Amino acid sequence: MGTLGAVFRHPDDIYPLLKLKRAVKNAAKQIPPEPHWAFCYTMLHKVSRSFALVIQQLDTDLRNAVCIFYLVLRALDTVEDDTSIPTEVKVPILLAFHSHVYDRDWHFACGTKDYKVLMDQFHLVSTAFLELGKGYQKAIEDITQKMGAGMAKFICKEVETIDDYDEYCHYVAGLVGLGLSKLFYASGKEDMAPEDLSNSMGLFLQKANIIRDYLEDINEIPKSRMFWPREIWSKYVNKLEDLKYEENSVKAVECLNDMVTNALTHAEDCFKYISALKNPAIFRFCAIPQVMAIGTLALCYNNIEVFRGVVKMRRGLTAKVIDRTNKMSDVYGAFYDFSCMLKSKINKNDPNATKTLSRINAIQKTCMDSGVLNRRKSYIIQNGPNYNSTMIFLLFIILAIIFSYLSANRSTN
Ligand code: D61
Ligand code: MG
């Protein structure tokens, strides 16, 4: 009933949802014939809901490099995330993983479901990796080495300070930004982006994830996954897991708002990074995940549901973001609207209300100063279902009824 109910409430989700459905179908048709590349693209669509489609729309040469970059790092992350692997086994693998990418005989069974298949068939990823240009191989190996070392460091180290938090997010996502900037440059399609901007692109995405996935991570079996920094949560509770208990709801939401306010600090750098991109496909690849992230932060802000289940953007809105993020004015527009959504939820008694408000105002000022906000219709802020989409919806229903009536008649004649 989820999506159908949502479509009733948001009838203008239908067309973008149909386009998304078609894009997913087309992507499936574009699976390359060679068995190792077919395995890689099939796995990409299985293990990455959010990135597969935006990777698919990149030009071939870069698409293959980004696809392999994704699968190599996802395999590394599968080792890191598998809390059933003892530390003395896990750390050496994380440290040496970058060299295993060249070795088609190397395997390590871990992870569950599709992640386990990726690990069991990893030799097919190595085969494809070895077919990439040397420039791409060098960039991927370099980032894999640094990420493995960073992950290994935090296997035995807690995320205590906000600096630890930024350092951990740098290792698992900031480095992805740096690596992608190197791949874009190696493809000759973009200039080399400044490292601090590439890093912020990763931190904004990873922090949105870490905030949204609090409950899933703290309830991880056999061992909790804890990424919220003690420097923040210790202002509200004595133990990180205390945030999930009913009696701590007020403190939990205040802590959540503090985490969201921290993540907003990276938005300006993301605007600078995205607005410097020249290639339309690379622009969409970089912009769409960032719009999803500000949407997720706006959804999570002041929302107790983060401590009750996983909060997710509705599929129709995701489809709209993918369909309508094509130029910088779309990015400023979406960030402006989602900031309005977040701002409307700021309660002045929240201990961070002033800081949150000033960060939101700064983001909205940058969007307004771009001077492109007025030339667009908001698809995020809807004051009630707008009639033309309702008309489309009704027309759709009527057509369906006529069609089924006619086909029923034809079959009886
Ligand atoms: C432009 C476009 C895409 C960008 C970017 C700039 C900068 C950074 C990123 C994408 C990475 C953002 C990561 C956010 C999602 N978090 C995770 O996936 C966590 O794992 C991190 C370690 C493995 C990173 C794998 C990755 C992700 C996206 C990519 C990529 C590699 C390569 C190319 C393009 C996009 C999270 O994993 C969640 C899970 O296990 O599903 C975790 O374990 O913390
Ligand atoms: Mg991980």
**Confidence (pLDDT) at 390:** 64
- Given a cut of 80, whether residue 396 has pLDDT beyond it is no
| Ligand 1 center to 45 CA (angstroms) | 14
Is ligand 1 within 6 A of the CB of residue 206? yes
**Confidence (pLDDT) at 49:** 76
| Ligand 2 center to 81 CA (angstroms) | 5
| Ligand 1 center to 288 CA (angstroms) | 14
**Confidence (pLDDT) at 386:** 54
Considering just the CA atoms, what is the radius of gyration of the chain in Å?
23
Confidence category of residue 31, pLDDT binned at 50, 70, 90: confident
Catalytic positions: 168, 212, 225, 285
Is ligand 1 within 6 A of the CB of residue 269? no
- Given a cut of 80, whether residue 383 has pLDDT beyond it is no
Confirm if 72 and 143 have CB atoms less than 8 A apart.
Answer: no
Mean pLDDT of 98-115: 95
Nearest CA to ligand 1 atom 9: 202
Mean pLDDT of 391-410: 79
- Given a cut of 60, whether residue 141 has pLDDT beyond it is yes
**Confidence (pLDDT) at 3:** 64
| Ligand 1 center to 147 CA (angstroms) | 11
Nearest CA to ligand 1 atom 3: 286
Is ligand 1 within 6 A of the CB of residue 170? no
- Given a cut of 80, whether residue 50 has pLDDT beyond it is yes
CA gap 292, 368 in Å, rounded: 20
Least confident of 215-224, 293-302, 388-397: 388-397
Confirm if 248 and 218 have CB atoms less than 8 A apart.
Answer: no
Least confident of 57-66, 194-203, 241-250, 371-380: 371-380
- Given a cut of 60, whether residue 159 has pLDDT beyond it is yes
Confidence category of residue 393, pLDDT binned at 50, 70, 90: low
Ligand nearest to the CA of 210: 1
- Given a cut of 90, whether residue 82 has pLDDT beyond it is yes
**Confidence (pLDDT) at 375:** 59
CA gap 36, 123 in Å, rounded: 9
Location of structure tokens 């078609």: 22
Confidence category of residue 378, pLDDT binned at 50, 70, 90: confident
CA gap 161, 110 in Å, rounded: 30
What is the per-residue pLDDT across 242-278, written as a single tens digit (0 to 9) for each?
999 999 999 999 999 999 999 999 999 999 999 999 9
Is ligand 1 within 6 A of the CB of residue 168? no
Residue that wins the pLDDT comparison between 28 and 336? 336
**What is the percentage of the chain residues whose pLDDT exceeds 90?**
81
CA gap 222, 207 in Å, rounded: 23
**Confidence (pLDDT) at 407:** 87
**Confidence (pLDDT) at 139:** 98
**Confidence (pLDDT) at 30:** 84
**Residue 212, CB-side half-sphere exposure with 13 Å CA sphere:** 18
Nearest CA to ligand 1 atom 14: 206
Least confident of 48-62, 182-196, 275-289, 304-318: 48-62
Least confident of 307-316, 359-368, 373-382: 373-382
Average pLDDT of every residue of the chain: 93
**Confidence (pLDDT) at 392:** 67
**Residue 151, CB-side half-sphere exposure with 13 Å CA sphere:** 31
Is ligand 1 within 6 A of the CB of residue 159? no
**Confidence (pLDDT) at 138:** 98
**Confidence (pLDDT) at 27:** 84
Nearest CA to ligand 1 atom 6: 177
- Measured from the Cα of 51, ligand 1's closest atom is 35
- Given a cut of 70, whether residue 116 has pLDDT beyond it is yes
Is ligand 1 within 6 A of the CB of residue 150? no
- The alpha carbon of residue 256 and the mean position of all alpha carbons in its chain are separated, in whole angstroms, by 19
371 φψ region: left (φ > 0), alpha (ψ -120 to 50), beta (else): left
Confidence category of residue 2, pLDDT binned at 50, 70, 90: low
CA gap 212, 132 in Å, rounded: 35
Is ligand 1 within 6 A of the CB of residue 317? no
Least confident of 174-178, 301-305, 365-369, 378-382: 378-382
What is the per-residue pLDDT across 310-365, written as a single tens digit (0 to 9) for each?
899 999 999 999 999 999 999 999 999 999 999 999 999 999 999 999 999 999 99
